[in-house]
Structure 1
Amino acid sequence: MSKASAQTTSSVIFGLPIDIEPMEARSAAALPFDGGWQYEPKWDGFRCLAFKEGPNVDLRAKSGKPLARYFPEVVAFLAGLSVERFVVDGELVVEEAGKLSFDALQMRLHPAETRIQKLSTETPAKLVLFDMLMTPKGDDVRNDALSRRRSGLVAFVGPDIDQRRLALSPCTDDIEQAKLWLSDAGSGSTDGVVCKRIDGPYIPGERAMMKVKRLRTADCVVGGFRYEADSKNVGSLLLGLYNSAGKLDHVGFTSAISNDERGDLTRKLERLRKPPGFNGKAPGGPSRWSTERSAEWVPLKPELVVEVRFDHVTGHRFRHGTKLMRWRPDKKPLQCTFEQIEASQPDDLTI
């Protein structure tokens, strides 16, 4: 297969518009249990629509941005399948040491092609599929019920396909199994549970599904803060936990601060200014996801403890921003350790 055959150009016409938006999910506090639902693990990766027409393949992120450049091994694998065409919905994931690694996945977003090629060999990605929009026969099945689309997807990901490169996400209509998946979420490969109506169509761009995440709390030390943009008031608190060596590592942030308390809180924090703030892993500098302004932070004496709610841990850090629940003046900072967020259950989901 030539290199060109595994790449797409703007002139290629696929069976569905390349700018089609994936169906999305709205957040819910609990799993629905009134019947008629299909439950699936919510994978901790990059959402991806994959298009194929003849030898041409394209990968699109949820934002609509092209992903093919960053995952050449996935493009080549899909281009090499015997089927002529399809449009499928799934999640790009990378596995390291038997577990999915979001950090390894993020490393793919690198500008150097030589670096991408190296990583694609060392830590190849896998596409985990959970829906089909167009069949290999060229039929648009977006208006079909999920049960029919799922049957087509099961037939598509047959036993002869290399499961290391292309896999079928498990699903169930058993609420008890969904509860087990949810209890395991947040500390391993999955980020929660996605719920879909079994008789529902695929509605691009609409929040026609539900997602439920496992939310947990932890007591963290406030090791620093950032000011609001163009303001003299605090914008976010930088959170830390003590590692096994007794050093305070930066683990994330919370910006859930009410406007009524920003002024008083800013003055309180400014009185505690003292470097280094974090004597273990400190907040990093600017990256492709942050501006120079957002990377500036003020170190504090490690005296304040706050309880926050979080949903997912990746690489000993909170993946997303956290919700500030309450201040904990009753807690000693040294009691705020990583034991609170370490996985309590094995990650036994297989795909």
Structure 2
Amino acid sequence: MLKDIRELTLEEIEELVESWTEPKYRATQIYEWLWQKSAHTFDDMTNLSKGLRDKLKEHYVIHGIEPLQTQVSNDRTIKNAFKLHDANIVEAVLIPTKSRMTVCVSSQVGCSLTCSFCATGKLKRIRNLTAGEIYDQVAMVNKQAIEEYEIPLSNIVYMGMGEPLLNYQNVLKSIEHITSPEGLNMSPSRITLSTAGVTKLIKKLGDDEVKFNLAVSLHAANDEKRSELMPINDANSLAELKEAIVYFYSKTGTRLTYEYIMFHQLNDTMQDAKELAEFCKITPCKINLIEYNPVEGDPFKCSSSDRIGAFKNFLEQKNLIVNVRRSRGKDIDAACGQLANKNIAN
């Protein structure tokens, strides 16, 4: 099986072309085609000789992704299904708002974490995405944003299918390419990685002194409730999560975001608010309260507007920064927790 050339670094491509007695600058041209211009075939690389293109085809492939299906919500959110080279499917969502143009990208095919409220968690985890497959989602949706709304992407969130930290190397490599001048040249401050709380890898992010933002899917600040919602809590308790977050902040100085889905009479009481406020004292942070988005077969209901409002007010009285995040794309199953390759026509 031929290797995907996008797994090579620029230095490795330089060594490759020189071993073929090609000038070193050809490597930069190839690299720009792969990342800046998102070429998906070697024949696209028109400033290379046919002989070099043929040699590349003989030894390497480019495993790009293909648009499979697009659904547009009443609120202008666009859900994209992409087909991978091995026929697996992932989804990415373009979320246009007044102040931002955001893409939500996937990092895995399926997910192994089985969060009880998440549609993706009901899918079997099949494999990690490559850095190129993650990058392609961003590049293609950026093009879509310009074509549909005449505005390029302003923000990227790793909140789609999969747990990004369980695909650590490829996710970080994709961010390197997205932020590189040879790639999309986006600022890391406009990128947010969301995790369910893999504590040892949160610490590794700190050791790697990453420059992007980190969001933690919390959903309860009580071990019993959190384990009910998120089985990952059994092996990554709130005490361990606190320790990892404090460590991450000490290394990066980056303010965290906590994601907190509001479930009716499950995690929306004043006691829950007190526990959350206590947990959030550990480092500077902001809290996103998220309306629960129904998933077929789930027993949960969304908290009422009154309960969400009272919850928010309590947290604000504790001098915490709180936003209520209104879900977008619900009608096409594109909202938070709803990505599950549903209604895709193959």
TM norm structure 1: 0.24
Greater RCO, CA 8 A, separation 6+: 1
Q: Flag the structure with higher helix content.
A: 2
Which is higher, the Rg of structure 1 or of structure 2? 1
TM norm structure 2: 0.24
